[in-house]
Amino acid sequence: MPRAAAIRGPLAARPHEFAEPSRALAAASTPLPLNDVPHPQRLGNFGFLGLILDGIVEPVLRDMDMRRCACPKEKQGNQGALSDEELDNTKKESGVVGLDDFEVLKLVGQGAFGKVFQVRKKGTSEIYAMKVMRKDKILEKNHAEYMKAERDILTKVDHPFVVQLRYSFQTKYRLYLVLDFINGGHLFFQLYQQGLFREELACIYTAEIVSAVAHLHANGIMHRDLKPENILLDADGHAMLTDFGLAKEFDENTRSNSMCGTVEYMAPEIVQDRGHDKAADWWSVGILLFEMLTGKPPFVGGNRDKVQQKIVKEKIKLPAYLSSEVHSLLKGLLHKEAGRRLGSGPGGSNEIKNHKWFKSVNWKKLDTRQIQPSFRPNVAGKTCIANFDECWTSMPVLDSPVASPVAADSNFVGFSYVRPAPFLQRPSPLG
């Protein structure tokens, strides 16, 4: 599938915010145009709305060869709509919303375990993203604990640069997560369209990501899958961290031993299965920054094994056209020894925030969204779906029939959730 088919939608950029490859750039590191970069994982698992689209949480390394966009070859009209049976079987506890509280507007994505819909809460003008997951498929893959962990983590997070969970509930056959609908596209779209960013724009995006990750760490959460597909843009152009399918709660005295993430963004300690902690997230932030400034991650290869070998053994090559300040930051974030990585010391995230590359950033103003990125996506209102692929948005709003899961109720006890009023009253990122 051609990469151009991966994401559609016009984005109104200011041309001067994006760097143009030059002879000096070519002499420094020769970044390829993104159409020529051997980066198979770009073809799938897009981070629409904070949702995993080509498969639910996998607690093991994802195989790049399997990362294909799962758009159907033809539209199917016999899949069975969001049914009255589902409505009848919604278990509505006191104060908990259910499926019949929402009007389904558009299909915007699909994964191995369900679909993603744009919805409106009835009686309001609020637009949300509804992630619908089939219980039978989740149980078949033994993923019930991962789904509950994702939901639990989302209920604990409240930050201006993190996509918020608003409601969760279940029916007899499905689980539902209702999140903010962020419709400005994601960071990868800009990288795909423009190739690379100027440092001034990359600095704001990176600062917003650092702020979000620092908030997670302060609340005992590792994200573990930071990449451009999981950074969305809201209507004002702010970066919004999403997709908590691989996130994990931690304490400072333990290390996680699972191999997880997306290979190009995985820290050496994860690749080598030596156990990891929150420092692995700061490595991924470094990879993100490198990709924003050069158009590709620093360690790429023809297959997973080659990429892993480079992550562990290859010294990072920093292009000469980048400033000495960002050279210093990248070297700190991409230190192969986790204990010596910037952000892993006693100062935590402040080691990063106080770095000289961020000297122009007022962190208090940043966290109150008073610093406006110079790029703003083309979003024509709350319901705009221009930045989603037509292979989904042109399909009928249907959902597939499901088999009754065995003992599903006991596996998903306590799944329902309504975000408390102070959270619900916070202005939407779409304004």
List residues with catalytic annotation. 225
Asked if residues 259 and 60 have their Cβ atoms less than 8 Å apart, the reply is yes
Q: Rounded to whole angstroms, how far apart are CA atoms 248 and 203?
A: 27
List, in sequence order, every residue forming a beta bridge with 240; answer none if it has no partner.
232
Nearest by Cα to 403 from 138, 169, 145, 115:
138
Residues comprising the binding site? 131
Asked if residues 356 and 382 have their Cβ atoms less than 8 Å apart, the reply is no
Question: Do the bridges between strand 231-233 and strand 239-241 make them parallel or antiparallel, or are there none, so unpaired?
Answer: antiparallel
Can you tell me whether residue 324 is helix, strand or coil? Answer: helix
Asked if residues 411 and 144 have their Cβ atoms less than 8 Å apart, the reply is yes
Asked if residues 182 and 48 have their Cβ atoms less than 8 Å apart, the reply is no
DSSP state string for 76-128: -S-S--S-HHHHHT----TT---GGGEEEEEEEEEETTEEEEEEEETTS--EE
Work out whether the CA dihedral 7, 13, 18, 20 comes out positive or negative: positive
Asked if residues 186 and 232 have their Cβ atoms less than 8 Å apart, the reply is yes
- Radius of gyration over alpha carbons of the chain, in Å? 21
CA atoms within 13 A on the CB side of 286: 29
List, in sequence order, every residue forming a beta bridge with 276; answer none if it has no partner.
256
DSSP state string for 386-414: TTS-HHHHTS-S-----PPPTTHHHHTTT
Q: Rounded to whole angstroms, how far apart are CA atoms 52 and 315?
A: 32
What φ, ψ does residue 426 adopt, rounded to 5°?
-65, 135
**Which whole-number Å values give the CA distances from 9 to 183, 227, 390, in the listed order?**
10, 20, 9
Residues comprising the binding site for ATP? 131
Q: Rounded to whole angstroms, how far apart are CA atoms 395 and 121?
A: 21
Can you tell me whether residue 221 is helix, strand or coil? Answer: strand
Q: Rounded to whole angstroms, how far apart are CA atoms 137 and 114?
A: 9
Crossing angle (nearest 10°) for helices 199-218 and 279-294:
170
Both tokens assigned to 285: 């932030």
